[in-house]
Amino acid sequence: MQIHVLASGSTGNATYIEMENTKLLVDAGISARRIKQSLDKLGAKVEDIDGILITHEHRDHVNGLTTLLKKYNLPAYARPDTWQSMYCRAALPDECCRLLPESLDIGKVKVEPFSISHDAADPVGFRLFAGDSKVSVATDLGFVTPTVKDALSLSDVLVFESNHDVDMLKNGSYPWPLKKRILSNRGHLANTDAGWTLARLNRKAHTHVFLAHLSQENNRPELAEETVADILTTQGCRLGEDVTLHLTYPEKISGICEHK
């Protein structure tokens, strides 16, 4: 099993997941050219992607979708309201645009979307199962509901939002309406929210966690990692044994996670 966060943040999001020789993308918010180049570096081919899973219609999650579908004829899956609200929907080939059901088998991977709280049409996270392995992705949400907590539990690998430091956001340059949106239950998770969610999550013996969608304006990678690590440690979690934290970046591929 391999997880590679190709890009994460407000400028674009895309995650490559390979399980049991099934190759998936979660979101395509960077250019198709950059996705291809990133996959080339990993020894993978964009034309071999078995499916693209779309969390929601915001541009930083779908910017590369038009070229990917037109050039490579890849199947993409999203909720009906997500397709309807997508700015580029009219340019996409109809045969590539698939409706996302409550459960879907792609190759040897079972895909189960779950609803999240975000200011989009019908946003979802994903949990993916193959054999005895589970990967979960939840990168844009303002509040962790019991449904989300249950969906994330017992993941081997978790790509999870740690968007902002609350003090940096409140004291930063963003206009107040934008700050209010980010802080709302339909906005984005703070570092402390991520830390306490992970601390209270029902986990396997060892979980890899990618801290994702970090704000370039209102966060720093080392601050996100330190905040989450401090909370986990105070709650008795052994870093590197119970949980291993990985950082993600807007302009480069995150550290490779190979979990067997």
Q: Give the model confidence (pLDDT) of 148-168 as tens digits.
A: 999 999 999 999 999 999 999
Does residue 143 have a pLDDT over 80? yes
Count of beta carbons in the 10 Å neighbourhood of residue 250: 17
- Amino acid 259: pLDDT: 57
Q: What CATH fold (topology level) applies to the domain 2-258? A: Metallo-beta-lactamase; Chain A (3.60.15)
Q: Please name the residues in contact with 231: beta carbons below 8 A apart, sequence gap of 6 or more.
A: 192, 195, 196, 198, 199
- Amino acid 258: pLDDT: 65
Contact 195, 219 (CB under 8 A): no
pLDDT tier for residue 92 given thresholds of 50, 70 and 90: very high
pLDDT tier for residue 33 given thresholds of 50, 70 and 90: very high
Mean of pLDDT over the chain = 96
Name the percent of the chain lying above pLDDT 90. Answer: 97
